[in-house]
Amino acid sequence: MVGIIMGSLSDRKIMQQAADALSELGIAFEMEIVSAHRTPERMLEYASTARSRGLQVIIAGAGGAAHLPGMVASLTSLPVIGVPVLSSNSIDGWDSVLSILQMPSGVPVATVALDGARNAGILAAQIIGASDQEVGKRLDLFKEGLKEKVAVMNEELKNHLGS
């Protein structure tokens, strides 16, 4: 199971994309608001009990100073995927990107693009799929579907250009 956490309800629209990707791939998840700044005790409890509660990967989205992914990564040995979220108090998202990307040695956070929660969900599935053959098979089908979409786009482009 994957834990999807975010610093605020305003992040839900973006983080829902991770939930949607996991649902499409048949992977269970939970979704909660866990603020590094407003509920640090809750963040500590969430991260430190994640493995014992059955989580395999945590996706943490945050905007602005974006401390949530790094702080969670400091509290668990599970893989953490950070999603920088463009927020109303952000500096074009760069503050969030750099806060998540620039982690100190020993506390890695896999970081996806600004508002890239869909890729975070897919990456979480790939982490799980590295050891779960059923998830791996679903990912293989997903990747084949991407190839098919490109083939369809090429046909549409040819039709549009009149070739």
Long-range contacts of 127-131 (CB under 8 A, 24+ apart): 127/56, 127/57, 127/79, 128/2, 128/27, 128/56, 128/57
CB 65 within 8 A of CB 98: no
Establish whether 8 is an annotated binding residue.
yes
Residues paired with 61 in a beta bridge: 6, 83
User: What are the φ and ψ backbone dihedral angles of 4, each rounded to 5 degrees?
Assistant: -110, 120
Q: Report the residue count for the chain.
A: 163
Establish whether 38 is an annotated binding residue.
yes
User: What are the φ and ψ backbone dihedral angles of 48, each rounded to 5 degrees?
Assistant: -75, -20
Residue 114 region by backbone torsions, left for phi larger than 0, else alpha for psi between -120 and 50, else beta = beta
Structure tokens given for 62: 């945050």
Establish whether 11 is an annotated binding residue.
yes
Which residues are annotated as part of the binding site?
8, 11, 38
Which residues are annotated as part of the binding site for substrate?
8, 11, 38
